Amino acid sequence: MEPLQEVLRQVTGYIYPNEVELHWGLLVVVYPYLTGLVAGAFILASLVRVFNVKEVQPTYRLALLTALAYLIVAPLPLLAHLGRPSRAFEIFLTPNFHSAMAMFGFVYAWYLMVVLLLEIWFDYRKDLVLWSKRETGVRHWLHRLLTLGAGDLSPRALRFDQSAGRFITIIGIPSAFLLHGYVGFIFGSVKANPWWSSVLMPIVFLFSAIVSGIALMLLLYLLSTLLRSKPVDMVCMDKLATFLFYDLVVDFSLEMLDFIHRLYEAEESIQILSLLVSSRLFLSLVILQALLGTVLPLLLLGSVSPALRNRGIVSLPDELRRLLYAGAAVLIQIGIFSTRWNVVIGGQLFSKSLRGLTVYKMQLLGLEGLFVSGFLLVLPLLVLLVLIIVLPPWPEAEQHPEAGAS
């Protein structure tokens, strides 16, 4: 009873009794954050396969494996939040096509089975065949099993792999938009909540997902390269930072457009929302999301932009540029997670009467606690480590038919 009493002491204004307890907690914050990283990583991979951006080629396979690792873990926060994970299968047994939440199961299955797994298989098939020929023991049988019996390495078969992989990637781009855009659609379609009800919500979620995914891949590429004692491709890093900068500009512009539109409308909810921003969400929205998570990364990335370097205005050594890129990427992750927090938690902190505010008391233990959420944030990295061991994404691990034949 003590936590509830503490919450009641911090409640301000008029609130109905059933509005004191928040139904969506930290796990629901983690869920859209993870799905955003999936979409962002896949969009980065599509730049190589579809748009032929050669500069980010070193991150292609790593981006695919990262998207798969995070996609495997993505539904776990929701399943833990349900309390009865076994009921999730009812989505497929008794589908409700009028429920956006229920349709997530089909979107998830499509994206996992048809898009990501097929693209990874077509991209790795040649290497799997060659690995299985030169390896012994467990890795031999594992890679041979993953070939699914398709051992043809003729030029025609390899051309088909390339064409099929590119076709699947083209299909995967709108699928990635749908995967994370629907999360924003769920919040944006809640008419009774003025904090959520906005037609820009799906678009803001999508662009913030692209920003978070590119920032994550910049960090993973830099760390994986340094840990393997390999030289960092600064052309790749500069291109990633350029994409990150422009996507962040678009994302920030959309959020500011939504904010200005709310102020211009000046509906009856504007007063309680202003009070919410200036009190309950001041740290997470103004400090973490806006200043540290958006403005400061923009300044860091803009200060070393190619336009300034090409004109000789800024000249920094590679080590310092890498440090600035990494710092901006970490700040962006903090800002995007704060964005998810402000949407999920912030939208539940004011009453339906628009006259009162409540508080959210985070737990440490239990399914809805900080430890479980922290574990779910780390788990995709562990899954990614396993995938990297089984399917090395590094250029030096790629095999050629001539090497396999010898």
Q: How confident is the model at residue 100 (pLDDT cuts 50, 70, 90)?
A: confident
Distance CA 78, CA 163 (A): 36
pTM: 0.90
- Whether 110 shows a pLDDT value over 80: the answer reads yes
Please provide the average confidence, as pLDDT, over all residues in the chain. 86
Mean pLDDT, rounded, for 198-223: 91
Which of the residue ranges 219-223, 271-275, 316-320 has the most confident prediction, judged by mean pLDDT?
219-223
In the chain, the amino acid numbered 67 is A
List pLDDT tens digits, range 158-190: 999 999 999 998 988 888 888 777 778 888 777
- Say which residue, 292 or 278, is predicted with more confidence: 292
- Whether 405 shows a pLDDT value over 80: the answer reads no
Q: How confident is the model at residue 71 (pLDDT cuts 50, 70, 90)?
A: very high
- Whether 267 shows a pLDDT value over 60: the answer reads yes
Strand ranges (E), 241-367? 356-357
pLDDT of residue 404: 43
The DSSP symbol for 83 reads S
Residue with tokens 């900080």: 370
pLDDT of residue 184: 81
Q: How far is CA 212 from CA 25, 38, 252, 328, in A?
A: 21, 9, 13, 11
pLDDT of residue 199: 80
SS3 (DSSP) at 12? strand
- Whether 304 shows a pLDDT value over 70: the answer reads yes
Q: Considering only 38-42, 234-238, 284-288, 402-406, which range has the smallest mean pLDDT?
A: 402-406
Distance CA 85, CA 108 (A): 16
The DSSP symbol for 365 reads S
Q: Nearest-CA neighbor of 296 among 245, 236, 337, 342?
A: 245
Q: How confident is the model at residue 351 (pLDDT cuts 50, 70, 90)?
A: confident
Mean pLDDT, rounded, for 282-286: 92
Beta-carbon contacts of 66 under 8 Å, excluding residues fewer than 6 positions away, are: 37, 41, 216, 217, 220, 380, 384
- Say which residue, 10 or 221, is predicted with more confidence: 221
pLDDT of residue 378: 96
In the chain, the amino acid numbered 303 is S
- Whether 403 shows a pLDDT value over 60: the answer reads no
pLDDT of residue 156: 93
Would you list the domain boundaries of the chain?
Answer: 24-185+362-398, 190-360
- Say which residue, 155 or 313, is predicted with more confidence: 155
